[in-house]
Structure 1
Amino acid sequence: MTRRAPRRTAVAAVVGLLAGALTGLLTGCGPAAEPAASPTTATPAADPQPVAAERTTIRIASLRGPTTMGLVGLMDDAAHGRARHDYQVTVHGTADEVLPQILQGQVDVALLPANLAAVLRARTVGTPAAVQVAAINTLGVLHVVEVGDTVSTLADLRGRTVYSTGKGTTPQWVLEHLLAAHGLDPTTDLTVQYLSEPTEVAARLAAEPGAVAVLPQPYVTVVTSQVPGARAALDLTDVWADAEPSSQLVTGVVVVRTQFAEDHAAAFDEFLADYADSTAFTNEHPDDAGELVAAAGIVPAAAVATAAIPGSHVTYVDGPAMRTALAGYYGVLRDADPAAVGGALPDDDFYYGADD
């Protein structure tokens, strides 16, 4: 007679798998890493693009995770000599590694969390290190994940315990704003328990039948593939769109040093066009893009990257639409904690190319 393994043993096995799969997303605090050589099977552009501007070196700093998924086509073109400019991309583990490079003029373009771009603007406006935001590259990546089938709206969280990360940062502010929009007070109508790392949240989902959590992509993809009965119940990007139709939930943006954009306006605009094409490649060819994402060390496994791309809301939005989306989002963050956007909403000059 076969005996069923104790639940704690099964949980330990699942958590071990999750920890292994997620390790690459939790590390990377060392020196900047050059992107790994990418497969030659995925070729976003068959031929080099025509060059209107003088060929320019553009130094780009990015972060591991969804905010860089849309960049991999451009990175592959640069690695194989197809890019019309000299795109030098480094991928980093944390934003703390990138900010000094921007402030010291060591990089020209950076892919950063949206609120950090506003904070950086507040700290640098009127100085040689001043920055502008040029495009939105990632909408919301947060999802409500449950082990079960009881959550179809945020109102279903009443009386529940919800596990999350990000206390005192954007995940908390976004969740609390959306809960309030659904008539829920996070201090009385439900319990939100903030844990330090996504792996801890994953462990709770694996250990507790009926558990509910808020997780970002690509953790959502890993958890739903490894924890029996786990499913992505709500995409908070869609929930935000219903609650705040005049703005969007934004995760990542493209920031440029204002001096660089002024000195190399034509080349920078060509970079933005190439980046928009790269984003389209990621969304239209997720299998190929997933291979490149894994090769660049952005996500630890190609299959995870491919599966996570649709829920990561990789996008390219610039101009007035970018300003409208970000201004509304920043307004929500400012109301939650003014320090989240540097103390006040960014000035109009913050938005590159957004003049009406």
Structure 2
Amino acid sequence: MSARRGWFAAAQAALLALALAACAGTADPGAAPTAPVSSSPTSSPSAPAPEPTPEPTAERTTFRIATLKGPTTMGLVELMDEAAQGTARHDYQVTVYGTPDEVLPKILQGDVDVALVPANLASVLYAKTGGDGGAKVKVAAINTLGVLQVLEAGDTVHAVADLRGHTILSTGKGASPQYVLEHVLTEAGLDPTKDVTIEYLSEATEVAARLAATPGAVAVLPQPYATVVTKQAEGVRVAIDLTDAWADVTPSRLVTGVVVVRTPFLAEHRAAFDEFLADYRASTQFTNEHPDEAGALIAAAGIVPAAAVATAAIPASHVTYIDGADLRTDLDGYLAVLFAANPASVGGALPGDDFYYTPGG
């Protein structure tokens, strides 16, 4: 017990610095945004030389991009680094914010052109800006699949059915984490109100502390909190990846973060935006294929406090790039689950056809 408490005292500062905005509901709207970051590139002697940036086919364009601390931004870091060094093909001006609440008004007021936001917030933005036929935003890509994991301070839980009779610690009551967990439990044949006890705490740090200090405890934590806990707390392990558990019971994939663009900006700079999407796709590929280098950039950008934690968290953060028909299939399925749980979580109604953008289409 004391050893478990000891690790948390040492790691608490790092945990407090981690903001998993991509799967959070709301947070302190007064938190100060992080200024655009500049980081030095990292390199490995064995890493292949980067491919040259293609010659632009669109006029060089300034993109005001808002993104969030946490996995939502992990796939963007190579592009951020190129922009900071002046080697990107467009002028990508990236600002990293602490919570979705800080980004929402920026989009509504036209202060940003592109934003990386939680998937359900994109649907809320669509509804707030006019809905079907007149919305001021479109979603162009999925950038992060699920980031939630079930952790156990023990070795009894190996499948969703094994959660029967357990108390599950979690955050996100009234937000996506609650709806995702309840959906997975229900589809696996468990009643969330009878077969398990879900205890919601206000902060992920509280969940981490309880988990680390209580033998046999079970908790749901997002990345990179989950990686920090498993690295620092003896005996705590990942029991279930909820992204995999979702896929087992749902036709669509679990979605966390997406890329949205304001339609007035898109109308004026469509060719440049398609080039941004190509650059962003390459950046997410870099993150997944070169996790050590990407981890250093993630830490330098202030997204995760330590490069080693960032590198370890990348695989479980499901950083990706999905557009076109697959984007619609996965996002429609995810939003439908949230809508069934709480229509307000997606803006009161499911978005229409004009919500989806297809590059080059």
TM-score by length of 1: 0.94
Structure 1 CA distance, aligned partners of 2:336 and 2:51? 42
Give the residue type in structure 1 aligned to 2:10.
L
Partner residue of 2:335?
330
Query: Could you tell me whether the CA contact under 8 Å between 2:38 and 2:84 is conserved in 1?
Result: no
Structure 2 CA distance, aligned partners of 1:76 and 1:181? 42
1:173 aligns with 2:193: no
CA positional deviation for 1:38 = 3.0
CA positional deviation for 1:49 = 2.5
Structure 1 CA distance, aligned partners of 2:354 and 2:36? 32
Partner residue of 1:31?
33
Residues 38-187 of structure 1: pairs in structure 2 closer than 5 A: 38-41=40-43, 45-125=50-130, 130-187=136-193
Structure 1 CA distance, aligned partners of 2:234 and 2:121? 36
Aligned length: 348
Structure 1 CA distance, aligned partners of 2:339 and 2:134? 26
* Equivalent of 2:278 in 273, 279, 285: 273
* Equivalent of 2:6 in 3, 13, 17: 13
Partner residue of 2:24?
none
Q: Render the CA deviation track for 1:159-186: whole Å, top value 9, x for unaligned.
A: 1111000000000000001100111111
SS in 2 for 1:270: helix
Query: Could you tell me whether the CA contact under 8 Å between 2:79 and 2:283 is conserved in 1?
Result: yes
Query: Could you tell me whether the CA contact under 8 Å between 2:153 and 2:211 is conserved in 1?
Result: yes
Partner residue of 1:253?
258
TM-score by length of 2: 0.92
Please say which of residues 302-311 and 145-154 is displaced more in the overlay. 145-154
Q: What's the % identity of the aligned pairs? A: 66
1:351 aligns with 2:353: no
Partner residue of 1:314?
319
Structure 1 CA distance, aligned partners of 2:52 and 2:295? 22
Query: Could you tell me whether the CA contact under 8 Å between 1:63 and 1:95 is conserved in 2?
Result: yes
Query: Could you tell me whether the CA contact under 8 Å between 1:147 and 1:205 is conserved in 2?
Result: yes
1:214 aligns with 2:216: no
- Runs of 4+ in structure 1 displaced over 2 angstroms? 9-12, 36-49, 125-129
1:226 aligns with 2:219: no
* Equivalent of 2:203 in 172, 180, 197: 197
Gaps of 5+ in 2: 20-27
Gaps of 5+ in 1: 1-6
Query: Could you tell me whether the CA contact under 8 Å between 1:323 and 1:354 is conserved in 2?
Result: no
CA positional deviation for 1:19 = 1.1
SS in 2 for 1:222: helix
